[in-house]
A and B are shown apart, each in its own frame.
Chain A
Amino acid sequence: MKKLIEPFAIINRQTFMIMVAAQVVITLLLWQSFSDGLIPKPGKVASAFVTLLGTKLFIENMLVSLLLTLKAMLYSILITLLFAWLSVLPFFKSVALFIVKCRYLTLTGLIFIFTLLTKDGSELKLSLLVFGIVPFFVTSFLSIIVNINPQEYELCKTLGYNNWQTLYEIIIIGKADQVFEILRQNFAISWLMITMVEGLSMSEGGIGTLLIKYNKYNDLTNVLALQLSIFIIGLCFDYLLGSLRHWLFPYSHLKTATK
């Protein structure tokens, strides 16, 4: 027990699982005890969640959002890779650094410009999402490039590689697995943005639209049920991208063996 509150203490997996289960139970009990008439009790949310999962409305809206997120992530990662790879060329370094700083721009302030530049709601949502995601992706990828072990470059030089071959070996091939890590870590950001972006063009639906609708009618039970489903899907994607990375790049999860 003492170990649980000791800095850097290592606990076994079973103890960890028991601890997590106990924390969840305590949270649910607190939620059950302190929620008043406005905040729905956990049982009510769970029941709404089960009902929601079986509705056509939820499935359709979730698919719309998922499709839009995946499309946006695909475009974003392609743009990110292009600028991140090019960032090692001095000419493009400034562009990549500018993209990184674009994190501080708010999407809300750019909606009108994007509306003028795009032809329909679908394109508007996609472009806003891509614009919102890319700076975070580029930031992550550039930090990977900056933190490359200098010995990787030195080994390339000693093998007689020129700069283009070094770029290919170290950054394109050597950091390919990191692309999945960036996707995994930043999926939450895309997921966060989608609810906001979908509120801009509600005609095509999506979980953002659904959330706005439930909020508008103070249907807090369904809002929380929907949040729960968003949370679970997020966790599934996290696991899926992690597994995909390990499957495609087996070395990414290898630890130094002590033979």
Chain B
Amino acid sequence: MTVYNREEVLLQATNVQLTFDQHPILRDINFCIRNITRPGLLQGQVVTLIGRSGIGKTQLFKVLSGLQAPTAGQITIHNNKSVKAGDMGVIFQNYYLFEWRTVYQSLMLAAKKNKQLWGMEKQTIERYAEQFQLTEHLHVYPQQLSGGQRQRVSILQQLLKGSDFILLDEPFSGLDVCMIDKAVELLLQVSLSDELKTLIIVSHDIEHSVAISDTVFILGTEPGKEGATIKKEIDLIERDLAWRKDIRREKRFVETIEEIKACL
């Protein structure tokens, strides 16, 4: 069993409700993400929010990112500070980038927003670009990038912005099998870059998301109640299913996937 500790609260969702035209979309959303520490390692957090298509995942994604204000309740980060747009790094499903900016310009826009990088923006971009295999593509426009390159630029842009939280909306959607493996590697690399780095993956791709997560929250509806809520929390560390590269081959992992599917 891996040695770890769950320490201070990094993100707290309290009684979040979202209603459109008196029609509840989300209700009673309560969960918290704690800082996970492992001796001798910079271990970030990877949390997955799983739910069926159309259940309200994207709306919860927008609420978490501060792009959509909840009807009631709140999302707090860093010692009770209410989340607002810009606090989180957000990677949209189709990896949207400004089409009129070159990759370098897009990255520079983000780097300039990060006070810790002031004066070192150029060097940092070059260093990260090499790490993300983007050096050759720094001076091209997004339209000239492949899906995988676009994804790396999107992630890098949000990393340069310097937020501890990175929200990813369906990061595996539209990628082929090889690209999914690369994306998984990349996300793991990001999660290990800083102790407080927290990836929140909103997805319906159960297998890939769960394989890289430490915690899973299942979003679903309950009989007789309108609006989606967190139906179940699964601690993958407790089940010894987290931080293991070949986990997908294990029977216990397959059983957990089945358990999640049954909950949806």
> Which residues in A have their C-beta under 8 angstroms from that of B123?
none
A88-96, A137-145, A156-164, A191-199 - interface stretch: A156-164
- The number of residue pairs between A and B whose CB atoms lie closer than 8 Å in the complex comes to 66
Q: In this assembly, does B89 line the interface, its C-beta being within 8 Å of a C-beta of chain A?
A: yes
Q: In this assembly, does A151 line the interface, its C-beta being within 8 Å of a C-beta of chain B?
A: yes
Say whether A157 contacts B149, CB under 8 Å: no
The answer, among B141, B143, B149, B161, for a CB contact under 8 Å with A159, is: B161
For residue B105, which residue of chain A has the nearest CB?
Answer: A173
Q: In this assembly, does A60 line the interface, its C-beta being within 8 Å of a C-beta of chain B?
A: no
The answer, among B67, B99, B141, B146, for a CB contact under 8 Å with A154, is: B67
A2-10, A25-33, A249-257 - interface stretch: A249-257
Say whether B100 contacts A258, CB under 8 Å: no
For residue B66, which residue of chain A has the nearest CB?
Answer: A157
How would residues 166 to 203 of chain A score, 1 for a CB under 8 Å from any chain B CB and 0 otherwise?
Answer: 00010001101100000000000000000000000000
Within 8 A of B (CB), among A198-213: none
For residue A252, which residue of chain B has the nearest CB?
Answer: B100
B37-45, B90-98, B231-239, B242-250 - interface stretch: B90-98
Q: In the complex, which range does the number of interface residues on chain B fall in?
A: 20 to 34
Say whether B92 contacts A257, CB under 8 Å: no
A to B CB contacts below 8 Å, 29 in the list: A151-B92, A152-B96, A154-B90, A154-B92, A154-B96, A155-B90, A155-B96, A155-B97, A157-B66, A157-B86, A158-B65, A158-B67, A158-B85, A158-B86, A159-B161, A160-B85, A160-B86, A160-B161, A161-B86, A169-B98, A174-B98, A176-B100, A250-B141, A251-B141, A254-B141, A255-B143, A256-B143, A257-B143, A257-B146
A160 and B99 contact, Cβ closer than 8 Å, known pairs A154-B67, A154-B92, A257-B145: no
Residue numbers of B with Cβ under 8 A of A are 65-67, 85-86, 88-90, 92, 94, 96-100, 109-110, 113, 141, 143-146, 149, 157-158, 161
Tell me the complex Cα distance, A158–B67, Å: 8
> Which residues in A have their C-beta under 8 angstroms from that of B66?
157
Top 3 closest pairs, chain A to chain B, by CB:
A160-B86, A157-B85, A259-B146
Say whether A177 contacts B67, CB under 8 Å: no
Known: A152-B98, A174-B100, A177-B100. 11 other contacts (CB 8 A): A154-B67, A155-B97, A155-B98, A157-B66, A157-B86, A159-B157, A160-B86, A161-B86, A254-B143, A259-B145, A259-B146
Give, as a whole number of angstroms, the nearest-CB distance from B98 to chain A: 6
> Which residues in B have their C-beta under 8 angstroms from that of A160?
85-86, 113, 161
Say whether B88 contacts A254, CB under 8 Å: no
> Which residues in A have their C-beta under 8 angstroms from that of B110?
159
Tell me the complex Cα distance, A255–B142, Å: 10
Q: Kindly name the residue among B65, B143, B158 whose own CB sees the greatest number of chain A CB atoms within 10 A.
A: B143
The answer, among A159, A174, A254, for a CB contact under 8 Å with B113, is: A159
Say whether B90 contacts A158, CB under 8 Å: yes
> Which residues in B have their C-beta under 8 angstroms from that of A149?
96
